[in-house]
Structure 1
Amino acid sequence: MKVKYLFFIVLFCVLKTYSQTVSGVVIDSNTNQPIEGASVYFDNTTVGTISNEQGLFNIQKPTAVTSPLVISFLGYKKQVISGYSPDEKLSVLLVEDISALNEVFLVSKDSWSRERKMKEFKTSFFGISKNALSCEILNEDDIRLQFLEDQNKLVASATVPLIIMNKKLKYQIQYDLQDFEIDYNYQVELDSYFASSVYYAGTMFYTSESNSRNIVRRRIKAYKGSVLHFMRSLLEEKLKENKFILLFNGREVLAENFISVSNTDNPSIFQVELHQPLTVVSENDIEKNSVITSSETYFYLDRNGNHMPADALIFKGYFGNNRVGDTLPLDYQQDEK
């Protein structure tokens, strides 16, 4: 099964040292009145704040962050800003989302029960690991699900962010679901559907619920052997040190013979070319075996291990099976206390 997954946002941010402040004001585009309580955060991180009664916000920007700034408020269309400057005060106009507030969701009935559709959604969205199985959606009723009979496709949507509790890793996640679909192959002889590809997109904000020693150990275990760990190790030229082995046609190979990393005009961004599909084996866990294939000539990495565009790489095996239930915020550090 080929699994492709896409995060809408560019995922950056690892350093803990803060050096800049991004500030601005959130305003109702219709009334020109300030909006109090709007969520403001760097996507896929734990770095966020809310606007005050004057609509003002100040958010500390980690040194290496280049990820989009997300501004959202219930009943308004979300703003995702990539071209912000810490030296310039932002004026963010939120447009009321009339269609979302007044929408009546009418769909034709399909042959799948909601229980079956929800089970398929959770499995593909969270994954099947212990971390994934511990995840609970606190506002599950806000998810709209439909199986499209003529396309063998399950689609999902939500007009409000999903509030997810990852009980194993002790994160609460606010996930603003932009898109979700599973394509199935139907086998007549078995009268069964099998997922052939999964696609989901959205913005994420993490809140740590605990930093106990036990939780720190669980997070380290989730990090080791992950895509993020691999990409950071690749840029730091520490694949061997971090116990990653690369295989081509079943034989161990050197990264420099199959992966080219070049500088770009941006000193924080690197251009990467994967010359052949490679198998990645993590010696930290022999079950963490993956295959990486590039769908583009090049992809790009920032210094903190984020790859873009997100759909430039196709993951199979462990990397492909890791979903929201096993992801860590991009400002995660293995030495967090």
Structure 2
Amino acid sequence: MVKFPFRSRFLNIICVLLLMTAATVNSQNRISGTVLSAEDSTAIMGASIYFDGTSIGVSSNQDGDFDISFMDNNSALIITSLGYEALVLDASEILKNPVDSKYYLPFKREELETVYLETDPWSRSRKLRHFRKEFLGRNYAMYNCKIINEDAIKLRYSPSEKSMKATANEPLIIHNEYLGYAISYRLADFELGFQMNGGLLLPYSTYFAGSAYFQPLNKKTGRKVLRNRDRSYYGSSLHFMRSLYKQKLEENNFAIYHKRFQVPTYKFFNISEEGKNRKIELLTDELSILYDKTEQSAIVSKNTFTIDQFGNPSPPEAILLKGIMAEKRISELLPLDYKIN
């Protein structure tokens, strides 16, 4: 038995929810339709239609028409345009009428400013520094990642709750030079919790939710960027989920620990087939994960979840990650359809 040296200076918990819903569909389906305004049924040109967390997406033409293909996946279809509320549809809904359907987007209404009884003592620059670190990541990749429209982010710190919340009235546009992606991220929720440690107020837990669409940042992807992508992939939650789906954790250098001791790899996993997906049940509250004998993470699951062939878990809220996997934030986030070079 090998003792597992799981240590972490601070507890950093992140659950990136990409609004993914489970579906089992046939390979290479095509979906076509028209995006219209719910107010007057006029066509919406240039609406973005994409599968959440992927690089699979198109734009509607001048008549609001679009056509998109996809493979078996757990991702929701997002239809969005500036000035309108986004439409989020799971694949099972879409496949009921996959051809020539009409999708109506309601106008986005102006929200009244919230009145707070408690004064926010922090400056915007201080809150932005915390937001960048916890949203983009605390690693080297963060310095090659920039949020283009930071003015869209609203931030507020609550002294009584020791927490900072963020919202955005439009998708955040992120240029990730490290991985070579332009990411459109719809921030649904963000909360950063703090606690006192050694007389200092320090970040303790991070939670954010949203949906992401990836596009190439440049026409040609350089070798350095390709190496960075592979480096971010190995040991990531995406790598782990794909390995669990194929039941190749050991072959991909993942070791499993329970209560600080290494255990047989699949002892605490109940894995069954659900169509082309894998249904996963954790038979204990928490398992520790060691990648390549150095990178320490953990997975907590209270409910069963499924993994599709891309390595996309659903429902995402059923899983909580800790450690290195959790610390790989937006600056090291890869699309679900990413392929190893």
Same fold (TM over 0.5): yes
SS at match of 1:65: coil
Contact 1:24 1:57 in 2 (8 A): yes
What secondary structure does 2:32 align onto?
Answer: strand
Q: Percent identity?
A: 31
Query: One-letter code of the match for 1:206?
Result: F
Alignment of 1:14-29 (within 5 A): 19-29=28-38
Residue equivalent to 1:288: 295
One-letter amino acid of the structure 2 residue matched with residue 201 of structure 1: A
CA offsets per residue over residues 284-313 of structure 1, 9 Å max, x none?
xx442112222x142222222111221222
Superposed CA offset, 1:7-42 (max 9, x none): 1411899xxxx7232110011111111111111111
Given candidates 80, 85, 95, the residue that maps to 1:77 is 85
Structure 1 residue 109 displacement after superposition: 4.5
Deviates more, 1:47-56 or 1:240-249: 240-249
Contact 1:127 1:322 in 2 (8 A): yes
Do 1:37 and 1:51's aligned partners in 2 also have CA atoms closer than 8 Å?
yes
> Separation in 1 of the partners of 2:309 and 2:238?
11
Aligned residues: 322
Distance 2:54 2:153 in 1: 23
Q: Over aligned residue pairs, what C-alpha RMSD do you find?
A: 2.2
Could you say which residue in structure 2 is the equivalent of 1:205? 213
User: Which consecutive unaligned segments of at least 5 residues does structure 1 have?
Assistant: none
Q: Alignment partner for residue 301 of structure 1, among 307, 311, 320?
A: 307
Instruction: Give the corresponding residue for 2:224.
Output: 214
Question: Residues of 1 paired with 2:305 and 2:113: CA distance?
Answer: 41
- Counterpart AA for 2:240: F
Measure how far apart 1:212 and its partner are. Answer: 2.1
Measure the CA separation in 2 of the matches of 1:3 and 1:201.
Answer: 13
The TM-score with structure 2 as length reference comes to 0.88
- Give 2:110's aligned amino acid: S
SS state at 1:257 partner: coil
Q: Is the 8 A contact 1:11 1:43 kept in 2?
A: no
- Can you give the 5+ residue segments of structure 2 that lack an aligned partner in the other structure? 1-10
User: What per-residue deviation string (whole Å, max 9, x for no partner) do you get for residues 89-141 of structure 1?
Assistant: 221111111215xx667767511111110011111111112222321011111
Query: Partners of 1:144 and 1:119 in 2: how far apart?
Result: 13
Structure 1: how far apart are the matches of 2:260 and 2:76?
39
TM-score where L is the length of structure 1: 0.89
**Deviation string, structure 1 residues 245-294 (Cα, Å, up to 9, x no partner):** 12223332222212110123xx12222122232221111xx442112222
Check 1:290–1:11 CA distance in 2 against 1; reply closer, same or farther (3 A cut).
farther
* Matches for 1:272-287 after TM superposition, within 5 Å: 272-276=280-284, 277-283=286-292, 286-287=293-294
> Are 1:127 and 1:133, in contact at CA under 8 Å, matched by a contact in 2?
no
Q: Cα deviation per residue 1:198-253 (whole Å; 9 max; x = unaligned)? A: 11111111012242222111111110111111111112121121111122233322
SS at match of 2:226: helix
Say which of 134, 137, 155 aligns to 1:127: 137
Distance change >3 Å, CA 98–CA 249, structure 1 → 2: closer
Aligned to 1:159: 169
What letter matches 1:75 in structure 2?
A: G
Aligned to 1:42: 51
Native 8 Å contact 2:21 2:315 kept in 1: no
Equivalent in 310, 316, 320 of residue 310 of structure 1: 316
Aligned residue in 2 for 1:91 = 102
Alpha carbons of structure 1 residues 134 and 271: separation in structure 2 relative to 1, 3 Å: same
Give 2:65's match in structure 1, choosing from 53, 56, 61.
56
Rounded to whole Å, the distance in 2 between the matches of 1:66 and 1:229 is: 16
Alignment of 1:99-138 (within 5 A): 99=110, 109-138=119-148
SS at 1:98 equivalent: coil
Moved over 3 A (4+): 103-109
Cα distance in 1 for partners of 2:305, 2:29 equals: 28
Distance (whole Å) between structure 1 residues aligned to residue 110 and residue 276 of structure 2: 40
CA contact (8 A) 2:73 2:309 kept: no
Bigger drift between 305-314 and 169-178 goes to 305-314
| Residues 87 and 96 of structure 1: CA distance in aligned 2, closer, same or farther (over 3 Å) | closer
Contact 2:73/2:308 (CA < 8 Å) preserved in 1? no
Residues 32-79 of structure 1: CA deviation (Å, up to 9, x unaligned):
111111111111111111111111111122x22341111111111111
> Could you say what secondary structure the match of 1:255 adopts?
coil
**Matched residue SS, 2:14:** coil
